[in-house]
Amino acid sequence: MLNDLLYRLRALFRRKSVEAELDEELRAHLEHQEHRYVQSGLPLEEAKRRARLEFGGLDQVKEECRDARGVNLIETTLQDIRYGLRKLARSPGFTAVAVATLALGIGANTLIFSVVNAAILHPLPFRDAGRLVTQWATSPTVGYSGPGSLTDKDYMEWRDQNRVFSDTAAFRGQPTNLTGVGEPVRLNGATITASLLRVLDVNPALGRAFAPEEEAAGHDRVVLLSDRLWRSRFDSNPAVLGKAIKLDGEFYTVIGVTPAGFDFPDQTEVWTPLTLNIEEHNATLQIVARLKPGVSLERARNDEAVLGKRRPAQPGDWEWHTTLVLLTQAAAAEVRTPLLVLFAAVGLVLLIACANVSNLFLARATTRQGELSVRKALGASRSRLVRQMLTESVIMAVLGGSLGLLMAALGQSFVAKAASLLPRNLESPSAAAHIASAGIDLSVLAFTLAVSVFTIILFGLAPTLWATRGEMNSSLKGEGRRSTTGRMQGYMRDGIVVAEVALAVILLVSAGLLIRSFLHLMTVDRGFDPENVLTLNISLPESRYQSARPMIEFEEQALDRLRVAPGVKSAGSVFGLPLGHWLIGGDFTVEGQPPLAPGSQPFIATKAVVGGDYFRTIGIPLLRGRYFDAHDSEAAPHVVIVSQSLARHYWPLDEALGKRLKPGFSNDAWCTVVGVVGDTKQYSLGEPSSPVMYLPYTQAPATFMMQDITFVLRAGSGPLALASAARRAVQAADPDLPVFDVATMDQLVYRSASEPRFNTALLGVFAALALVLAAVGIYGVMSYAVAQRTHEIGVRVALGAEASDIIRQVVRQGMLPAVIGIATGTAGAWGVTRFLSSLLFGVRPTDPITFAMVPVLLAAVGVLACLLPVRRATKVDPVEALRYE
């Protein structure tokens, strides 16, 4: 073995001397033979001639010796590469189209794969992130699926009694106001246990993490800053350590800065220690824990401490299912479906691209039949020919793959820029944001190469095998088209067209459904009038507003100032703006209604608190009764306004006005219904309008509904122009209050549709790409078929046939594969679109309009693609056509 290798290596690297030796050796043989002949009496010339004749082909023997030496592989491969490059350069049209097609397919795939990689496969940058778990809760009643929460007591039991975690931590997201360092600003904050950084295996870039003692009240006035905050607000100055900053009116000492890119749990900028309170009833903590080595998720799920955290079901209790999931799964949950849909779509595009290039190579192989036959006749082995054609395909794939990688990189930066313009949902990052943060890394590179190799096998081997299998004789005679091989190749080409048309249909139907769904989303009735409405948000810090009175005073003052600000026609306030930040919902009690049967699902309504001229400002119509007014003060009888669907549900035949309900908070009072307003969309445009109950600000049932306020203003026109005046008005009422998220209602509506818009746009682009590729494919095959039949067409034209007759007949024949493809694709789409239902609003996955339009579109494009080459062929001078054979 070793000998063999050494021999080969020597032969490879010292080629010249080895060649010289071989030459010498064979020459020696010749001379010895000559000498023998001379000795037996022949004259020298005759001896030489005889010897040479006897020896045979010198070069052939040399070639066989080289073969025997076994280095042929490398030498011939280099030769193949050179030859392949020359050949590709000589047909630039073919090369350009094939490389471009491949590049598009591979580029799009790489781009989407890097996103899928970042979002679904490796969404978390922590060490061994696959061992981190968190609690996940679902409730079919409320339609909630997301991170679950525990009470402080739950967490402490979990932490102390489990046997499956090596470390546990808890955290709570808590937006907070930062003041005293430039403009007051609202930040995403989080209170965390000291163990969190340890669990995630993250070390502060500057300073230190929290010590366990700092979790106690009184010692917890320390804070960690995010790298981004440190750079933007503190000039990356290391002297920030030890500095005191004001969060929500309280001083905190900076003790550290987290590393760049760290923003757990969600774009967090400041972290403060969490103080556990065993008495706390509300479940507000999220947990994250690291599994002990060797412990499986299943085992952790069955751990007693974990199981004990299952809430016992109570009558009227919303059905909660809680389970332990991997943190990576939790992080990817939101974006899984749309990204996988995109991934499937782009995979289809790649297949179509491969089909096209395959056909290109197939056609080329057919026309090269002559060349191949000659080479075979000259003694090339079949494997050699196959290897050479494969080399061409490899070169093609490498070119296509590199260009594709470049396109993916460019595409990614473009998409990242576009995606960064879309705001992230505060609760969960969107698919667009994931794309923005994805980079092109090594695993993506490996994937591109794998895809390139895959496409080689697909378009390199298939046509090559066909090309070299054929009968060489007939191709030497020029009968290529009519031979069995020619017919086989024809069937292959048609089959490829059927496949790519079918795939294109599936993509177009999917895109069509999404487009229709999106249009539906944008035109659906929202229940309010977003035109010319400006919204701005503030958050009253607990430290300065400790009871209801000062909050009411602030609210009244702010509204007074806002009402007189220039350009403002009316002003109001709300906690629970449709499509806004703070939306809460829950069950409630209605007077006179029978108690809920155990196990049945309670009726849920959104609960909002409004002030000023809210309804008029935002355009929610009054259907019965009256709006709130100055009479509905703190001390006055408690009142409530309900939305129409709530009224219809409880009092379908009766008058709703005058009925009473309890809003479902801890210190509830009976509220009388004084008005019924129209339904509005609440959480998103896609869901049905949910029932809402509105309570006056002065009678808000809980202080947390008074702390966070959204002011809404109606302007005559140009609502954004009011922004600075509005800000000033609010800050006149309280200068230390950051005003954040100033946006028009139109912008909010636009933003709330950003996900579907993004998905639809991307899928639409891929579908369009698929359509173009399929059209190019049909055109290519048709051109080739027509070129083969030029002679026949020429004869027919010469014999007096009408051009239109010929065109019609040829197009009909050419459209056959396309038509089969359309039919197959439609049937396939029928079965496949059900996977899209989670992305569709108001449109069924079997929407008849889409399923009718797409085949027509594709058929029209197909006919056009067939028509062009045929028309050209009939215009050719019949004499020219006849001459060709």
Partner 1 sequence: MANNRIALPQGTLDLLILKTVALEPQHGWAISERIQQISSDVLQVQQGSLYPALHRLERRGWIRAKWGASENNRRAKYYELTKHGRKQLEAEESAWRKLIAAVGQVLETVATG
Q: Does 14 bind partner 1 (CB under 8 A)?
A: no
The C-alpha atoms of residue 620 and residue 533 are separated, in whole angstroms, by 12
Q: Which is nearer to partner 1, 378 or 630 (CB)?
A: 378
Q: Is omega for the bond preceding 265 within 30 degrees of 0, making it cis?
A: yes
Pick from 19, 21, 319, 802 the residue near partner 1 by CB under 8 A: 21
Pick from 19, 31, 128, 427 the residue near partner 1 by CB under 8 A: 31
Interface region with partner 1, contact rule CB under 8 A, candidates 25-33, 160-168, 438-446, 661-669:
25-33
Q: Which is nearer to partner 1, 61 or 519 (CB)?
A: 61
Q: Which is nearer to partner 1, 75 or 556 (CB)?
A: 75
The C-alpha atoms of residue 603 and residue 237 are separated, in whole angstroms, by 54
58-69 vs 72-90: helix crossing angle, rounded to 10? 110
Pick from 7, 343, 665, 683 the residue near partner 1 by CB under 8 A: 7
**Minimal distance in Å, beta carbon 67 to partner 1?**
7
159-164 contact pairs (CB < 8 A, 24+): 160/305, 161/304, 161/305, 161/308, 162/289, 162/303, 162/304, 162/305, 162/306, 163/303, 163/304, 163/305, 164/291, 164/292, 164/295, 164/299, 164/300, 164/303, 164/306
**Minimal distance in Å, beta carbon 37 to partner 1?**
12
Q: Which is nearer to partner 1, 7 or 665 (CB)?
A: 7
The type of residue at 163 is R
Interface region with partner 1, contact rule CB under 8 A, candidates 27-35, 484-492, 706-714, 874-882:
27-35
Pick from 26, 202, 453, 882 the residue near partner 1 by CB under 8 A: 26
92-116 vs 754-788: helix crossing angle, rounded to 10? 160
Q: Does 3 bind partner 1 (CB under 8 A)?
A: yes
Contacts of 318 (CB under 8 A, 6+ apart): 139, 141, 142, 601, 602
Q: Which is nearer to partner 1, 68 or 442 (CB)?
A: 68
* Strand pairing report for 692-696 and 605-612: parallel
Q: Which is nearer to partner 1, 56 or 242 (CB)?
A: 56
Taken in order 149, 155, 161, 163, the sign of the CA dihedral is positive
For 412, other C-beta atoms within 10 Å of its C-beta total 23
Q: Quick one: tokens of 456? A: 């080689």
Interface region with partner 1, contact rule CB under 8 A, candidates 23-31, 338-346, 486-494, 642-650:
23-31
**Minimal distance in Å, beta carbon 57 to partner 1?**
8
**Minimal distance in Å, beta carbon 31 to partner 1?**
6
The C-alpha atoms of residue 105 and residue 411 are separated, in whole angstroms, by 13
User: Site size for partner 1, by CB under 8 A?
Assistant: 26
Q: Which is nearer to partner 1, 31 or 371 (CB)?
A: 31
Backbone angles phi, psi at 709, to 5 degrees: -125, 135
Scan residues 402-421 and list those touching partner 1 (CB under 8 A): none
- DSSP secondary structure, 637-678, as one string: PPEEEEEHHHHHHH-SSS--TT-EEE--STT---EEEEEEE-
Interface region with partner 1, contact rule CB under 8 A, candidates 26-34, 251-259, 432-440, 704-712:
26-34
**Minimal distance in Å, beta carbon 7 to partner 1?**
5
Q: Which is nearer to partner 1, 35 or 417 (CB)?
A: 35
Q: For the chain, first and last CA: distance in Å?
A: 56
Scan residues 44-83 and list those touching partner 1 (CB under 8 A): 54-57, 60-61, 64-65, 67-70
Q: Residue 209 in 3-state DSSP?
A: coil
Q: Which is nearer to partner 1, 18 or 240 (CB)?
A: 18
Scan residues 224-253 and list those touching partner 1 (CB under 8 A): none
Q: Which is nearer to partner 1, 75 or 266 (CB)?
A: 75
Q: Does 122 bind partner 1 (CB under 8 A)?
A: no
Taking alpha carbons only, the member of 429, 327, 421, 326 closest to residue 115 is: 429
Q: Does 8 bind partner 1 (CB under 8 A)?
A: yes
Q: Does 42 bind partner 1 (CB under 8 A)?
A: no
Pick from 9, 20, 28, 121 the residue near partner 1 by CB under 8 A: 28
**Minimal distance in Å, beta carbon 60 to partner 1?**
7
The type of residue at 240 is V
Interface region with partner 1, contact rule CB under 8 A, candidates 4-12, 279-287, 478-486, 854-862:
4-12
Pick from 12, 33, 343, 761 the residue near partner 1 by CB under 8 A: 33
**Minimal distance in Å, beta carbon 437 to partner 1?**
56
Q: Which is nearer to partner 1, 56 or 566 (CB)?
A: 56
Q: Which is nearer to partner 1, 61 or 820 (CB)?
A: 61
Interface region with partner 1, contact rule CB under 8 A, candidates 1-9, 137-145, 405-413, 751-759:
1-9
Q: Does 525 bind partner 1 (CB under 8 A)?
A: no
**Minimal distance in Å, beta carbon 23 to partner 1?**
11
Q: Which is nearer to partner 1, 53 or 239 (CB)?
A: 53
Q: Does 35 bind partner 1 (CB under 8 A)?
A: yes
Q: Does 279 bind partner 1 (CB under 8 A)?
A: no
Q: Does 801 bind partner 1 (CB under 8 A)?
A: no
Name the residue with tokens 């702390």: 707
The C-alpha atoms of residue 96 and residue 776 are separated, in whole angstroms, by 14
Pick from 19, 23, 24, 371 the residue near partner 1 by CB under 8 A: 24
Q: Does 29 bind partner 1 (CB under 8 A)?
A: yes
Count of residues in the chain? 885
Q: Which residues of 692-715 are buried (b: 16+ CB within 10 A; e: fewer)?
A: bbbbbbbbbbbeebbbbbbbbbbb
The C-alpha atoms of residue 306 and residue 610 are separated, in whole angstroms, by 41
**Minimal distance in Å, beta carbon 12 to partner 1?**
12
The C-alpha atoms of residue 825 and residue 820 are separated, in whole angstroms, by 8
- DSSP secondary structure, 811-856, as one string: HHHHHHHHHHHHHHHHHHHHHHGGGGGGG-SS--TT-HHHHHHHHH
For 93, other C-beta atoms within 10 Å of its C-beta total 7
- DSSP secondary structure, 275-287, as one string: PP-TT--S--BEE
Q: Does 4 bind partner 1 (CB under 8 A)?
A: yes
- DSSP secondary structure, 277-317, as one string: -TT--S--BEEEEEEPTT--HHHHHT-HHHHTTSPPP-TT-
**Residues making contact with partner 1 (CB under 8 A):** 3-4, 7-8, 21, 24-26, 28-29, 31-33, 35, 54-57, 60-61, 64-65, 67-70
